[in-house]
Amino acid sequence: MASKKNININLKIWRQKNGKAKGQLVDYKLDNVSTDSSFLEMLDQLNEQLVSQKQEPIAFDHDCREGICGMCSLYINGRAHGPDTGITTCQLHMRMFKDGDTIYVEPWRSRAFPIIKDLVVDRSSFDRIQQAGGFVSVNTSGRTIDANAIPVPKDDADKAFEAAACIGCGACVATCKNGSAMLFVGAKVSQYALLPQGKVEATQRVLNMVRQMDEEGFGNCTNTGACEIECPKGISLENIARMNREYLKASIK
Amino acid sequence: MAKSALLKSSIAKKYWMALTGLFLCLFLTGHLLGNLQLIFSDAKHFNEYALFMTSNPAVKILSYLTYISILFHAIDGLMLAAQNKAARPVGYAKTNPSANSSFASRNMAVLGTVILIFIVTHMVNFWAKMHFDKNMPLAQQESMQMPGQMEFIGVPGSRVPSIPAQGKSLHEIVDEVNKQAMAQAQAMGEKNLEKAKKFEVEGSDAIKDLKKGEIIFKGYKDLYKITIDFFKQPKYGLLFTLLYAASMIVLAFHLLHGFQSAFQSLGVTSRKITPAIKFFGTAFAIVVPALFAAIPVYIHFFLK
């Protein structure tokens, strides 16, 4: 960690005009970056510098900037969401870097996450997986029973909650050497499979979500465990094992 | 598997990798126990074991299951590796893989390919010789009745338990007997000398009585000698020993990730059993390849 309050850094950032254009890493120099600023604030600072120089600012995804929306991405110095663990890029601080560092900033790389512009990728494949089965069908006529009326064992509720912490940022896919989405799908399958409300549609859910995952062109899990380490929400590999169990159960039914 | 493709789905492929992989771990254990007889037993018992393994019908079924598993594991694995490569058409300029995964887990396909190459050369060197080589030597021992004379050791059930060898091959012995019989027939004025032939060599290890049409002698193929000679040959013995040991190191890394990974793929995990599986898997991945490698090392450097 740098003891100096402000640092000067070199950046190598992926610039790509649109999905079809050929992209490349472009070098930037940014001085006077506060170590208290977040990584996204540093990019804001760089964009201001670019705008004042009449250059096109760098496009990157961001929204809540408090680590909960799953919008920010970025593959920073070879790691999803940068060198810290258990955080999103908006929670990454410049104090993790030293004065004079060269920082690589690349978009998520996956066939299922096509680049829209610069560092922005299209993660709608996750939405389509979710739409394939990541829900519980309820009658909304007004006679719906209260969810808390169904008893749920504390242990199951906790595990379901941990799985539901997934914010769908795509760091698991980005960091996986196979570009596999199994941690994401495992979390979504587990979140419902653990609860009595979700058990009703469990068979179709896992089959449909896995089918959609395969159709989107994600790779296959080889249990390297990289996703679990890079996941900002600490989603456990246990969720992939549960999905494997659910899929086996559903397949032989 | 009514609603999902047995082979096409990503998760089904993982099941098959896991099941064939675990079956091959069982095979490794059996193979190792057999090989250890090279150190802890003698030539006679090892050759008896080799005959059992190549003739017993139950073993035959197991061996076909093993061939299929190896092929399936390799083909499925290469298909998965190709798909995984295609899932990221444009790679990263900077990566830091050691920050979040082990060397073995990232290189299963490369390690597996090296093991496949090893299996092919291994089968050419030993398995193919045992099964198909017409010149496979038969086991010999010193005669009990005539000390100093060598004889082929026969398999129980042979009408003759052993036949004199005197440094000759089975073919030479049979040719000699037939020649004498033919010479006798010629002296008797027989025209069709072929009919006078008494025996012929059946396959590479048996003598057939032509009159009765039955096997009267079957000898043990000397796989022990083939193995010892292979690792003790003056020119390449050391190289082969080192290559074998190196292959076992590759196998160790493959197992280090593969064993516990199989259980994760099959969804066999829990707070209680996963630590036990990981511990056993690590021990298996170190002990089994180490013992395999110890055998040629012992043969090359220590066996008199």
Find chain B residues with C-beta within 8 A of A244's C-beta: 11, 14-15, 264-267
Q: Please check whether residue A181 touches B, CB under 8 A.
A: no
Structure-block tokens of residue B227: 């193995």
Domain check: are A150 and A237 in the same one?
yes
**Cα–Cα–Cα angle for B124, B130, B135, rounded to 5 degrees:** 95
- What is residue A5's predicted lDDT score, i.e. its pLDDT? 82
The owner of tokens 């896919």 is: A173
Closest by CA position to B98, among listed A88, A229, A220: A229
For B282-296, how does the pLDDT look when each residue is reduced to its tens digit (9 = 90+)? Answer: 999 999 999 999 999
Distance from the A219 Cα atom to the nearest Cα atom in chain B, whole angstroms = 5
Say if residue B3's pLDDT is above 50: no
**Which pLDDT band, with edges at 50, 70 and 90, does B2 fall under?**
very low
- What is residue A143's predicted lDDT score, i.e. its pLDDT? 80
Q: In the listed set A81, A116, A151, which residue is the last one of a domain according to the structure?
A: A116
Domain check: are A107 and A133 in the same one?
no
**Which pLDDT band, with edges at 50, 70 and 90, does B131 fall under?**
very high
Q: Which residues have CB under 8 Å from B248's CB, separation 6+?
A: B289, B290, B292, B293
Domain check: are A103 and A41 in the same one?
yes
**Which pLDDT band, with edges at 50, 70 and 90, does B4 fall under?**
very low
Within a domain: A135:
yes
Q: Please check whether residue A207 touches B, CB under 8 A.
A: yes
Structure-block tokens of residue B295: 């055998």
**Sheet hosting strand A75-76, strand order edge to edge:** A24-34, A6-15, A102-106, A75-76, A79-80
State which residues form the domain around A173.
123-251
**Sheet hosting strand B214-218, strand order edge to edge:** B199-202, B206-209, B214-218
Distance from the A143 Cα atom to the nearest Cα atom in chain B, whole angstroms = 33
Beta bridge partners of A14: A25
Find chain B residues with C-beta within 8 A of A12's C-beta: 93-94
Contact: A219, B87; criterion CB under 8 Å: yes
Within a domain: A35:
yes
Q: Please check whether residue B13 touches A, CB under 8 A.
A: yes
- What percent of chain A is helix, strand and coil (3-state, nearest 5)? 40, 15, 45
Within a domain: A194:
yes
Closest by CA position to B108, among listed B250, B282, B248: B250
Distance from the A69 Cα atom to the nearest Cα atom in chain B, whole angstroms = 24
Please report, for the domain that includes residue A62, its CATH number: 3.10.20.30
Say if residue B48's pLDDT is above 90: yes
- What is residue B144's predicted lDDT score, i.e. its pLDDT? 81
- Nearest-by-Cβ selection for A210 from B9, B257, B265: B9
AA letter at A154: K
Q: Which of A75, A121, A222, A252 would best serve as a mutation to test chain B binding (most B beta carbons within 10 A)?
A: A222
Closest by CA position to B292, among listed B119, B43, B48: B119
- What is residue B1's predicted lDDT score, i.e. its pLDDT? 39
Domain check: are A17 and A89 in the same one?
yes
Say if residue B128's pLDDT is above 70: yes
| Cα B84 to Cα A4, A113, B25, B52, B109, distances in angstroms | 43, 14, 25, 43, 11
- What is residue B219's predicted lDDT score, i.e. its pLDDT? 92
Contact: B10, A220; criterion CB under 8 Å: yes
How far is it, in rounded angstroms, from Cα A101 to Cα A33? 12
How far is it, in rounded angstroms, from Cα A80 to Cα B103? 19
Closest by CA position to B21, among listed B33, B13, B9, B11: B13
Long-range (24+ apart) CB contacts under 8 A made by B196-203 are B199/B174, B200/B174, B201/B170, B201/B171, B201/B174
Count CB-CB contacts under 10 A for residue B60.
12
- The tally of domains found in chain A comes to 2
Domains identified in chain B and CATH numbers:
10-86+101-132+223-301 (1.20.1300.10), 140-218 (no CATH)
Contact: A111, B87; criterion CB under 8 Å: yes
For B223-239, how does the pLDDT look when each residue is reduced to its tens digit (9 = 90+)? Answer: 999 999 999 999 999 99
- Nearest-by-Cβ selection for B105 from A104, A110, A222: A222
Structure-block tokens of residue A230: 């890079």
Contact: B264, A224; criterion CB under 8 Å: no
* Percent of chain B topping pLDDT 90: 78
Contact: A111, B88; criterion CB under 8 Å: yes
Distance from the A130 Cα atom to the nearest Cα atom in chain B, whole angstroms = 17
Contact: A250, B3; criterion CB under 8 Å: yes
Q: Which residues of A25-59 are buried (b: 16+ CB within 10 A; e: fewer)?
A: eeebebeebebebbbbbbbbbbbeeeeeeeeeebb
Count CB-CB contacts under 10 A for residue A74.
28
Helices (H), ranges, A8-164: 39-52, 124-133, 154-164
| Cα A105 to Cα A143, B40, B84, B122, distances in angstroms | 51, 60, 23, 47
Q: Which of B4, B8, B9, B11 would best serve as a mutation to test chain A binding (most A beta carbons within 10 A)?
A: B11
For A195-204, how does the pLDDT look when each residue is reduced to its tens digit (9 = 90+)? Answer: 999 999 999 9
Distance from the B113 Cα atom to the nearest Cα atom in chain A, whole angstroms = 16
Q: In the listed set A87, A116, A145, which residue is the last one of a domain according to the structure?
A: A116
| CA closest to A225 among chain B residues | B101
Domain check: are A26 and A146 in the same one?
no
Q: Please check whether residue B79 touches A, CB under 8 A.
A: no
Within a domain: A1:
no
How far is it, in rounded angstroms, from Cα A143 to Cα A138? 10
Q: Which of B6, B16, B94, B254 would best serve as a mutation to test chain A binding (most A beta carbons within 10 A)?
A: B94
Query: Of the given ranges (B53-57, B131-135, B229-233), which has the lowest mean pLDDT?
Result: B131-135
For B142-156, how does the pLDDT look when each residue is reduced to its tens digit (9 = 90+)? Answer: 888 888 888 999 998
Q: Please check whether residue A184 touches B, CB under 8 A.
A: no
ipTM value: 0.92
Q: Please check whether residue B272 touches A, CB under 8 A.
A: no
How far does Cα B21 stand from its chain's mean position? 17
Say if residue B158's pLDDT is above 50: yes
- What is residue A3's predicted lDDT score, i.e. its pLDDT? 53
Domain check: are A127 and A163 in the same one?
yes
Within a domain: A193:
yes
Q: Which residues of B107-136 are buried (b: 16+ CB within 10 A; e: fewer)?
A: bbbebbbbbeebeeeeeeeeeebbeeeeeb
| CA closest to B79 among chain A residues | A220
Please report, for the domain that includes residue A161, its CATH number: 1.10.1060.10
Contact: A179, B88; criterion CB under 8 Å: yes
Domain check: are A81 and A196 in the same one?
no
| Cα B204 to Cα B40, B132, B138, B162, distances in angstroms | 28, 8, 9, 16
Domain check: are A53 and A164 in the same one?
no
Cβ atoms B241, B296 nearer than 8 A: yes
For B266-279, how does the pLDDT look when each residue is reduced to its tens digit (9 = 90+)? Answer: 999 999 999 999 99
Domain check: are A131 and A208 in the same one?
yes
- Which portions of chain A are predicted below pLDDT 50? 2
Closest by CA position to A184, among listed A210, A217, A156: A210
Say if residue B31's pLDDT is above 50: yes
Find chain B residues with C-beta within 8 A of A248's C-beta: 11, 15, 266-267
Within a domain: A207:
yes
In the A/B pair of chains, how many CB contacts fall below 8 A? 141
**Angle, helices B57-86/B43-55, rounded to nearest 10 degrees:** 80
Burial class (CB in 10 A: 0-12, 13-18, 19+), B221: buried
Q: Please check whether residue A15 touches B, CB under 8 A.
A: no
Domain check: are A110 and A142 in the same one?
no
- Which string of DSSP letters, residue by residue, matches A18-44? SSSSPPEEEEEEEEEEETTSBHHHHHH
Domain check: are A156 and A189 in the same one?
yes
Cβ atoms B196, B210 nearer than 8 A: no
How far is it, in rounded angstroms, from Cα B120 to Cα B96? 35
Q: In the listed set A72, A100, A116, which residue is the last one of a domain according to the structure?
A: A116
Domain check: are A105 and A154 in the same one?
no
Distance from the A121 Cα atom to the nearest Cα atom in chain B, whole angstroms = 13
